[in-house]
Structure formats: structure tokens, C-alpha cells
Structure 1
Amino acid sequence: VEARSRYLPAARAGVGGDWFDVIPLSGMRVAVVVGDVVGHGIQASATMGRLRTAVRTLADIDLTPEELLTHLDDLVVRLSEESGEDGAGEVGATCLYAVYDPVSRQCALARAGHPAPVLVPPDGPPRLLDLPSGPPLGVGGLPFESAELELREGSVLALYTDGLTESRERDADAGQSLLLEALSAPADSLDVACDRVLRTLLPSGSAADDVALLLARTRGLPAGQVATWDIPADPSLVAPVRKQVLEQLSTWGLLEASFTAELVVSELVTNAIRYGSPPIRLRLIHDAATLICEVSDTSHTAPHLRRAKTWDEGGRGLLLVAQLTQRWGSRHTTDGKTIWAELGLLDEE
């Protein structure tokens, strides 16, 4: 995604607990998040910092939006209990978390008591997304729901905190109407759109509450930059798979990455055949800077690095993958797991 943002602290109370983030995920996916901690001052800022760090940590293990909010809710409950105040809810927050996949163009979103985001299609009027609202963070024990929708390339998601749309002079509905009006006008860039939103909703240039605004324009990955193979669970077929990978890299003009990619693919596919469960699928994704190798199977057992002893015949494969790639990891899916590794394409330049 292409993202631009604005943040305005409350005019009198100073910095508070609003935050936003754009988090790169595996498989060229990206997470966008916006949140709002109740209150202002040092305590709210400290809580915000802890929640922002927690979101980044939970995003790194590729939790679904509703699972991430469930873990974040548990954290807020614990923070409330540790605050020493009587009763739950002394520490509270709202949050909206979304994950966009540029390959499938699918976006999964979930919110915890946070204002609904606005979707601006590339050729239509903006509209509020109808998402399950979910309870605010810190209530505890209540479920969160996620929604999934397809976003065409060039769609803009507008995430914001209630300080933008609500004030003493107007309610949330009136503020959201103004926001839709501001986003409906054509803009040369997201920076221009951000500035117009602030001028429209905050003409005085200040607000009684913190204001966070994040605009994210989606980009799709062309189908020609993705290649997928179904792999039979037969170790003797690893060599033909490597050959197909080399042919694909040649088609893409990425032969400089062929040596490393061949080793990584061979290791990940062999591991999936030996220790995973069929069906097994190999996927290559690339853009100008990165080549990603992904191997998926239906086993939920995740691999881990271990240090092989001197005379061990195995145990060095994932260590080799870790040494040869920029990043590697695993993510659980509804059907099993995916092991992925990222190779840099610009290292020689």
C-alpha cells in the first residue's frame, strides 16, 4: 500500500493515546492499524506504547484480525488490573486492525469499539464499511468478528480516531458525513487528501481530543509476478521442481537469484515432503526488490532452528535458509501452515 498520515494532539490536554501503524507482513501482505487509548497525558501515552508494541509482535506471528484483537483485549485487561484501580475498565482502548493481500486483493478487518473505516473506491463515492463493531478493548470475555472484502487496485482505506469526527459541536454521524464529503473530492495525492480532511473537519486547526488519520491506497500484484505449483509428496520429484523454478526465474529475468532460490526451494519442499502433510504447494512471488519462496502444507507443526552436532546428517537446512535469506518464518493458516523466505534482489546493486 501507499500510506500517508496525520496526527494532532489535543489542544489543551497535550499528547494522548492515539496511534496508527503500517506493518509489513510475509507474502507481501501489509497490516494497517489505528487505535485510541482512553485519557490523556503520560499514562495514556505509556499504555499506547505498550499496545503498539504488542500489535507489532502479534502481527509478526500472523494472527488473524479477530485473534489479534482477542490477545490485545487480554493485555488491556491485565494492564487495568495492574493499575491498582478498583474494577475492570480503568484502562480502556479501541482499535481497528486490517490485513491486505496484494496477490488476492482481499482485505480482512476487525474492530474493537472503534469507528468504522471509510472505503474510497477508484471510481465511486466513499462509503463507511459495515463491520461488526466488537466491544472496546478491556471489557474481556467477549468475541471479536472479522469481515473480508475484495479491494480493487487504487482503493483507499481511511482509518481515523473519534477525535476527528466527534466534538462538542457535532455528533459522530455529522462528523462522518463531513469525512465522506471531504474524501469524495478528487485529490492529486494522499497528502492532499489528508490536508483536505483536516481542513474540512477541523477548520480551526486544533481539536479537543487527539486526532489520528491514516489513508492507505491499495496496490495489486500482477498475476505474472506470482507462480504456483502443486507438489506431490515424493522426494524424487524435488529435482524436477527445482528445474521448474529455474525456468520461471529465467522468464522473470531473475537468474542472479537462481542459486540461492534453488537451495531455499529445495530445502523447504524437502522438509514439507518429509515432515508435512499433503497437499503441498510452492509459490514464488516477486517485485522489484524481493523474491519470496513459500511452501504450504496441511500440517500445523511449525519448524524451528536447531544446531546440528558435528556428525549429524541432518538438522542444518533451516539454518542454511536463515543464513541465505533476508527473513524467513512461518504462519499458520486455516488449512495448515506456510513456511516462507525472502531473498533480496538488490544486494548486488
Structure 2
Amino acid sequence: MSPQNGLLMARSDVARTAEGLLAAAPASVREARSLVRRELPGWGAEDLVDDCVLIVSELVTNAVRHGGAACVLRLGGDGVQVYGELFDPGRGAPRMREAGMDATGGRGLQIVDALADDWGVSWPESGGKIVWFVLGGRSVPYGVSQHASDAFA
């Protein structure tokens, strides 16, 4: 079962959370990776850092290229699992593309799909989109109990 409508882990249901507001600039990708590397080891999720860094890099890169405005990265974890979501105000739907052998781009969501235990997109009523992902072996995020559309309203 997958989270629907951008479900967000409630702070009371997880051991740790982290959030970052990221500008619509290439430097935000580095900032997002730093957030992951700084937070996850303290959560007991050292084994998820590398995969989470790659996923976050791809999602923030897409938001910077196609969203055109600041975005918000939220992470939550219980030491076993990490749930993440990236909100951006853009209306465009992320989609996986077939990238040719010589292509220099177009593989971001393929990477997300290969690394995440589950991922998807939700559309808050207030606008924009939330791309969410789960790492850590469960198909349903630990402690999911609040709609992200409410959190981002």
C-alpha cells in the first residue's frame, strides 16, 4: 500500500525530523545533500544515507530545473526507515523518461525508482506538488498519519 495524497509522518510518530527551505538555485542540491548527511547518522540510519542523498539530489535538481521557485525538503525517520518529501509550487507532473545511451540527463526518476522502497507524487489542494519517498524496507511509511497537503497549506 502506498501513501496517498502526500501523507506526512506526524512529529509525534517518529524519532526525528528535519526540514529545509531551498532556493531555486543549483546550490540547493548541495544544501539538501548536506542536510541528509548531517541528520540521518544521528537517527541511527547511517545505512540509508547514500541512497537518500542520491534520491534527494535528483528530486531537488528536478525542482530547481522545472519548478522555478523555492522548495521544501522534509525528512522523518525512526532509525529503521526514512520518509522524505519535496514540495515545490510547480504544476508540472514529474515523469520517468527513457534516456538514450548518450543522454546527459533524463534518468533522475529512474534512479529514485531504483533506490526507493516506494515513491510517488501527490497534489495538495493549495497547489504545487509533493514528491515523496520511503527508504528502509517498508512499503508504507512508519507512523504516517497526517496529510502533507495540510502541512504545506
- Which residue does 2:105 correspond to in 1? 314
1:341 matches 2:133? yes
CA contact (8 A) 2:45 2:79 kept: no
1:344–1:233 Cα change, 3 Å: same
2:121 partner letter? S
Matched, 1:103 2:10: yes
Aligned to 2:29: 238
Partners of 1:101 and 1:260 in 2: how far apart?
20
Gaps (5+ residues) in structure 2?
A: 139-153
- Pairs aligned (count): 137
Pairing 1:279–2:70 present: yes
| Contact 2:117–2:137, Cα closer than 8 Å, also in 1 | no
TM, length-normalised to structure 1: 0.36
Q: In the alignment, what sits opposite 1:183?
A: none
Q: Which amino acid aligns with 1:284?
A: L
Residue type at the aligned position of 1:236: A
The structure, 1 or 2, with the larger RCO (C-alpha pairs under 8 Å, 6+ apart) is: 2
**For 1:1-349, what aligned pairs fall within 5 Å after superposition?**
25-26=2-3, 60=4, 62=5, 102-103=9-10, 220-222=12-14, 224-333=15-124, 334-344=126-136
Would the alpha carbon gap of residues 101 and 341 (structure 1) be closer, same or farther in structure 2, given more than 3 Å must change? closer
CA 101–249 in structure 1, closer or farther in 2 if over 3 Å, else same: closer
Larger Rg: 1
The structural deviation recorded for 1:338 is: 0.3
Q: Give the CA RMSD over aligned residues.
A: 2.2
Amino acid at match of 2:19: T
- Where in structure 1 do 4 or more consecutive aligned residues deviate above 4 Å? none
What CA distance in whole angstroms lies between the structure 1 residues aligned with 2:54 and 2:8?
27
Q: Secondary structure at the match of 2:132?
A: strand
**Distance of 2:34 and 2:80 partners within structure 1:** 23
Q: C-alpha separation between the residues in 2 aligned to 1:330 and 1:311?
A: 28
Alpha-carbon distance change, 310 to 275 in structure 1, aligned in 2, over 3 angstroms: same
User: Structure 1 CA distance, aligned partners of 2:23 and 2:123?
Assistant: 21
SS at match of 2:29: helix
Matched-pair contact (CA < 8 Å) for 1:291–1:345: no
Distance 1:337 1:250 in 2: 28
Aligned-pair CA distance for 1:290: 2.1
Percent of aligned positions with the same letter in both sequences?
32
Native 8 Å contact 1:288 1:345 kept in 2:
no
Partners of 1:295 and 1:102 lie apart in 2 by 13
Separation in 2, partners of 1:263, 1:318: 11
Decide whether aligned partners of structure 1 residues 241 and 102 sit closer, same or farther in structure 2, where only a CA change above 3 A counts. Answer: closer
* Unpaired stretches in structure 1, ≥5 consecutive residues: 1-23, 27-59, 64-99, 105-219
Q: Deviation string for 1:103-145 (max 9, x for gaps)?
A: 17xxxxxxxxxxxxxxxxxxxxxxxxxxxxxxxxxxxxxxxxx
